[in-house]
Amino acid sequence: MNVKQQRTAETIYQQAESITEEAAVLYCQLSPDVDYCGGSEESRRALEQEMQGHLNALANAILMNSAGLFEAHLFHSRHHPADEAHDQMLTQQLTALKQVLAQRLPIAEYIAAAGYLSAAFKELEHPVIVAEPSPPVDSSQEAPLKALADAYLSNLLAGQRAEAISLLRKEAKEGIDVRLIYEHVFMPVQWEVGSRWHRGEITVAQEHYCTAATELAMAMLHPYLQAPAPNGFRFVATTVSSDLHSMPVRMVSDFLEFDGWTPYFLGANTPTDDIWKAVVGFKANLLVLGASMPHHVNILRQLINAKQYTIGASQVSVMVGGAPFNADPTLWRTIGADAYAPNARVAVEAARALVQNK
């Protein structure tokens, strides 16, 4: 890791609270009429929280030397809500942060930070893209279960969870490879649900309902995943503290179990210390970590770094995945992981390679 990048990031982390407070005051001077600057204590805290999110994302991007990481943060920020007025607000918030950083950081460190902010300003000059980019797909294959996925989604959006899950259980009982349902129903439906929420077509409550229904559907289909004889390898799968989105890493867990691995799926939001205790306690060969948001990446980096201080973990491989790593496919190396997988099927191949090379 570049020493200057680390020093710049650490300076920002150390001064984050005071930088945020000063930038919030400056922002309200630049934009006195916005709701955040109405004078109430609640508004002030909300503004500082939002500004600190931008600042932490900037520091993480500098630390990881990843433009993609800050771009992912900006993309997410632009869609809450996605309109020109919100883009203008973001521009003014980042402008305030940039001015404060110019006063707080040594010139060499400021230049490093300013580069990421300048790129963000250029991006904010372009109209917001309302829909999320399409997920990577194999263009040589058509979606074989599109009709099933469409019917499943329609039922969920109509609040008909039982009917939606019944469609999938019928297919499973008739002998379909359940992994195909994961890949061609759950994944595209969740992607579409997220996109509709970003576009403002459904509410947060509807998005949560669909996600909870799919988590239940996965649990109900799990018995149809006929795993082969154990292959002798074990893994622990989870997301780190503050990351509540466990569905993608659960999909990976189920695929690995189908491949013969012994699973120890911990769910979401697991404290760092407890993760390594679980890995050692279960005598796992592999640790699978998911990250849903850019600000989780630094927590993963710290977790992976703690491996060297954990007795009994020296031979454990670490595989990561999630939106930040899809945005910057080189990021996994920067944080010290042993492998990265963009989806569950690739994760199985990567896991096999890791243990074969031990």
CATH code of the domain in which 61 resides: 1.10.490.20
- Indicate whether 310 belongs to any domain: yes
- Indicate whether 218 belongs to any domain: yes
Same domain, residue pair 166 and 185? yes
- What pLDDT digit, counting tens, does each position of 48-102 carry? 999 999 999 999 999 999 999 999 899 888 876 667 888 898 999 999 999 999 9
- What pLDDT digit, counting tens, does each position of 262-293 carry? 999 999 999 988 999 999 999 999 999 999 98
Q: Which of 328, 330, 279, 275 is nearest to 303 (CA)?
A: 275
Give the confidence band of 129 by pLDDT, cuts at 50, 70, 90: low
Q: How far is CA 65 from CA 50, 204, 297, 336, in A?
A: 22, 33, 12, 13
**Per-residue pLDDT, 267:** 95
By the 8 A CB rule, do 299 and 335 touch? Answer: no
* Residues of the chain above pLDDT 90, percent: 73
DSSP state of 141: S
Structure tokens given for 354: 């890791």
Q: Which of 242, 247, 343 is nearest to 293 (CA)?
A: 242
- Indicate whether 138 belongs to any domain: no
- Indicate whether 139 belongs to any domain: no
Single out the residue in 204, 224, 244 at which a domain terminates: 224
Q: What domain range includes position 118?
A: 3-124
Same domain, residue pair 116 and 18? yes
Q: Which is more confidently placed, 218 or 7?
A: 218
SS (H, E, C) 14-28: HCHHHHHHHHHHHHH
DSSP string of 204-270? HHHHHHHHHHHHHHHHHHGGG----S--S-EEEEEEBTT----HHHHHHHHHHHHTTPEEEE--S-B
- Indicate whether 303 belongs to any domain: yes
Q: Which of 192, 29, 11, 238 is nearest to 103 (CA)?
A: 11
With residue 146 as reference, give the H or E element that holds it: helix 146-157
SS3 321: strand
- What pLDDT digit, counting tens, does each position of 285-329 carry? 999 999 998 889 989 999 999 999 999 999 999 999 999 999 899
Same domain, residue pair 10 and 109? yes
Q: Which of 146, 159, 242 is nearest to 202 (CA)?
A: 159
Residues contacting residue 99 through CB under 8 Å, at least 6 positions apart: 23, 26
SS3 50: helix
Mean pLDDT of 164-184: 96
- Indicate whether 131 belongs to any domain: no
Single out the residue in 203, 224, 245 at which a domain terminates: 224
Beta bridge partners of 318: 287
Single out the residue in 169, 191, 224 at which a domain terminates: 224
CATH code of the domain in which 330 resides: 3.40.50.280
* Residues of the chain above pLDDT 70, percent: 94
> What is the Cα 238 distance to its own chain's centre?
12
Same domain, residue pair 219 and 326? no
CATH code of the domain in which 167 resides: 1.10.1240.10
Q: Which residue has the tokens 């992607």?
A: 191
Q: Which is more confidently placed, 164 or 3?
A: 164
346 burial level (CB within 10 Å; 0-12, 13-18, 19+):
middle
Same domain, residue pair 246 and 326? yes
Pairing outcome for strands 286-290 and 262-265: unpaired
Give the confidence band of 34 by pLDDT, cuts at 50, 70, 90: confident
Number of domains present in the structure of the chain = 3
